[in-house]
Structure 1
Amino acid sequence: MKRNREDRRGDFHRMDSSPGQLGTPGSRTSSVLPDLLTQTASSPGTPNQRQDKSTSEEYRQAVSKSPPHPLQQKQRSFLTFGFGAGGSGPTRRESHVNVNVTPTSHDVGSDTPEIRKYKKRFNSEILCAALWGVNLLIGTENGLMLLDRSGQGKVYQLISRRRFQQMEVLEGQNILVTISGKKNRVRVYYLSWLKSKILRTDGQVERRNGWINVGDLQGAVHFKIVKYERIKFLVIALKDSIEIYAWAPKPYHKFMAFKSFGDLIHRPLLVDLTVEEGTRLKVIYGSADGFHAVDLDSASVYDIYIPKHTQGPISPHCIVPLPNSNGMQLLLCYDNEGVYVNTYGKVSKNIVLQWGEMPTSVAYIGTGQIMGWGNKAIEIRSVETGHLDGVFMHKKAQRLKFLCERNDKVFFSSAKGGSSCQIYFMTLNKPGMANW
């Protein structure tokens, strides 16, 4: 990766609070994933008693360490604590985030996560992103772009004057699934067509072959793609219904309608699909009232968690089927906390995961951890226990948004402040789970 394509200035301080759970070098996806363009270079849980986390012992100890020497803070705006501190006692060791944009063999093996920032400034609000090989597709309020991470960091404009709210790449199917446009349609773009626009071979691909809508759906809120056996399901949340499509291979080569659940009492804002013990399919969805399940066989809809202590609507962040639970155990994150329940609504762990502040984004990442982006800090926690693994404190408050992740790489963006926003990525230096 060329040194001149990313900003050398660090943007985070890192604060650590646990033994080194992030210390194993991560695998390089660029060595095994196809490049779109020719490369120019080689490249502990909280008890079930809720509390204000800003005063909880774990978080307070993590953020109360004295700041580093002023010379060490130069050109850095995040302070990091933890990430490899030895011992399990309350004493935590500070270390500074390495924002070296060209990691070499000795710093790749470091147990300290890295945050880097791309120089490119975007004039439109960044809403979503997805990795395509080693490169990054970026969806904004005004179009779709590609950031060439394999070369000089050049940005290619692919589609203009269209809003992209959510996207996911399925390279094996040659498609990019999106929620996009003024009517929030679910539209599928063919990667070969997008590639032709980058390589300027548009004449070889007819314009009408570039994309196809999924059904006649409008007003899509969120989607999730889940693999079950050899089938890829596309679960779509609409205003008051949930639609499920299944990918049909050639000669159809498109998503086809599978199941539909309409007139839902609780309007879905977030959807997922879990496979219980390898056989039973259930839709899990979040609403402003709580979390609910739909049994695909019986079509029964029931509540699995409704917060009793909140006043007014909640903001569901993410639904995480826990690893090694046969699709039966869930971590449900909303507002500034997360609860552990099974797919039938029974509390499975007497733990409430609580963030230090109200996060703007929460995401489960391939290292087996859950990350929360707040205005003051980025927190990394164990998905199994809620234990705080480490904190990146912002030098000044800023709104950050999770974009996408793969293995040990996590991409996020700053909200549009003033006239532009930028993209960051964090390397956690811990091998992730295999992609399907």
Structure 2
Amino acid sequence: MIGETLSGLWLLDRSGQGKVYSLIGRRRFQQMDVLEGLNVLITISGKKNKLRLYYLSWLRNKILRNDPEVEKRQGWSSVGELEGCVHYKVVRYEKIKFLVVALKNAVEVYAWAPKPYHKFMAFKSFRALPQKPLSVDLTVEEGQRLKVIYGSVSGFHAIDVDSGTPYDLYLPTHIQGSIRPHAIVLLPQTLGTELLVCYEDEDTVLQWGEMPASVAYLQSNQVMGWGEKAIELRSAKTGNLEGVFMHKKAQKLKFLCERNDKVFFASVLSGGSSQIYFMTLGHNSLFNW
């Protein structure tokens, strides 16, 4: 398992004694995803929040030290020289992998180009948006129409990729002031036409027991919210509470990834350090450590 802290990148070997290997030091990582089929780790990192691809073969060789040729190569490359990245999402449509990126005042869409290029190449760019994007996603409605979905302090919006036309999807007018978008969930078996949007301590379907610091959609068609005092598991369809785990002490938790039947998340401790946990979801939706 690859994880990030406020000042570096490391690998936790879960197959043995739980040994931790340092991969990259003295660099702050904000977001990351492992794309094994492409041999890359995609990240938002550094003081300028750049979008970078780290090659998994290069990171693996930092541990094994068994390939001098790999060690000589540069282990990373930038995506479009982008800086000030806020959030990204990798979306697969048929055989194409899209990378949609939220910047401070724009959204960029890239498409993966296989060998001999082996990189994400610019596909679409949407500048001077009426709202600043904070979270972003991409949907393919009924297998034909590409649409960018993004959240801002005023609500949730969409951009028709072909025409470049932005429009509002949902504006929570019952809330005074700005909101904080948590998650955009494309519901399965809806041909990309139905969404679950989460913001503040309530959303279009769910009512949380406390405001979650992080929200994620799980493959089991459930939504998990990480609050300071508890972790809640709710049905994405009905909003019903299906599981809850109370913390021993109040702490902020951040979703990292879901692998098989396990969910990985990090707690932010005093002094800027971070501790990684994983949780197993049983068939009856009960939590097990």
TM-score (norm: length of structure 2): 0.95
TM superposition shift of 1:356: 0.6
2:152 counterpart of 1:287: yes
2:162 maps to which of 278, 281, 297 = 297
Is contact 2:62-2:71 (8 Å) kept? Answer: no
* Alpha-carbon distance between aligned partners in 2 of 1:195 and 1:369, rounded to the nearest angstrom: 33
2:12 counterpart of 1:147: yes
2:37 maps to which of 148, 172, 197 = 172
TM superposition shift of 1:419: 7.4
Is contact 2:43-2:52 (8 Å) kept? Answer: yes
2:136 maps to which of 271, 281, 284 = 271
TM superposition shift of 1:222: 0.5
* Alpha-carbon distance between aligned partners in 2 of 1:274 and 1:191, rounded to the nearest angstrom: 28
Amino acid in structure 1 at the alignment position of 2:278: F
Aligned to 2:287: none
Q: Is the partner of 1:274 in helix, strand or coil?
A: strand
- Can you list the C-alpha shifts for 1:236-273, whole angstroms capped at 9, x where unaligned? 00010000000000011000000000011100010000
TM superposition shift of 1:394: 2.1
* Alpha-carbon distance between aligned partners in 2 of 1:336 and 1:264, rounded to the nearest angstrom: 26
Q: Is the partner of 1:289 in helix, strand or coil?
A: coil
> Which has the larger Rg?
1
Matches within 5 A, 1:27-426: 136-201=1-66, 203-339=68-204, 352-417=205-270, 420-426=273-279
Greater RCO (Cα-Cα under 8 Å, separation 6 or more): 1
* Alpha-carbon distance between aligned partners in 2 of 1:225 and 1:252, rounded to the nearest angstrom: 18
TM-score (norm: length of structure 1): 0.63
Is contact 1:408-1:427 (8 Å) kept? Answer: yes
Is contact 1:143-1:164 (8 Å) kept? Answer: yes
* Alpha-carbon distance between aligned partners in 2 of 1:430 and 1:183, rounded to the nearest angstrom: 43
> Can you give the 5+ residue segments of structure 2 that lack an aligned partner in the other structure?
285-289
Is contact 1:140-1:164 (8 Å) kept? Answer: yes
Amino acid in structure 2 at the alignment position of 1:273: L
Q: CA 1:161–1:207 in 2, change beyond 3 Å: closer, same or farther?
A: farther
Amino acid in structure 2 at the alignment position of 1:381: R
Instruction: Compute the RMSD of aligned alpha carbons.
Output: 1.6
- Percent identical: 68
Is contact 1:409-1:428 (8 Å) kept? Answer: yes
TM superposition shift of 1:336: 0.8
TM superposition shift of 1:430: 3.9
- Can you list the C-alpha shifts for 1:10-65, whole angstroms capped at 9, x where unaligned? xxxxxxxxxxxxxxxxxxxxxxxxxxxxxxxxxxxxxxxxxxxxxxxxxxxxxxxx
TM superposition shift of 1:184: 0.8
Q: Is the partner of 1:354 in helix, strand or coil?
A: coil
Q: CA 1:207–1:263 in 2, change beyond 3 Å: closer, same or farther?
A: farther
TM superposition shift of 1:204: 2.5
TM superposition shift of 1:416: 1.0
Amino acid in structure 1 at the alignment position of 2:108: E
Q: Is the partner of 1:149 in helix, strand or coil?
A: coil
Runs of 4+ with deviation above 6 angstroms: none
Amino acid in structure 1 at the alignment position of 2:282: N
Q: Is the partner of 1:198 in helix, strand or coil?
A: helix
Q: CA 1:423–1:206 in 2, change beyond 3 Å: closer, same or farther?
A: closer
Q: Is the partner of 2:270 in helix, strand or coil?
A: coil
TM superposition shift of 1:403: 1.3
* Alpha-carbon distance between aligned partners in 2 of 1:163 and 1:314, rounded to the nearest angstrom: 26
Is contact 2:108-2:125 (8 Å) kept? Answer: yes
Is contact 1:290-1:306 (8 Å) kept? Answer: yes
* Alpha-carbon distance between aligned partners in 1 of 2:36 and 2:283, rounded to the nearest angstrom: 24
TM superposition shift of 1:368: 1.1
Amino acid in structure 1 at the alignment position of 2:33: E
TM superposition shift of 1:207: 4.3
Is contact 1:367-1:408 (8 Å) kept? Answer: no
Is contact 1:366-1:408 (8 Å) kept? Answer: no
Q: CA 1:144–1:395 in 2, change beyond 3 Å: closer, same or farther?
A: closer
- Can you list the C-alpha shifts for 1:270-325, whole angstroms capped at 9, x where unaligned? 00001111111111000111100001111110000111111221110100011111
Q: Is the partner of 1:267 in helix, strand or coil?
A: coil
Structure with more of its chain in strand, by fraction: 2
* Alpha-carbon distance between aligned partners in 1 of 2:74 and 2:266, rounded to the nearest angstrom: 32
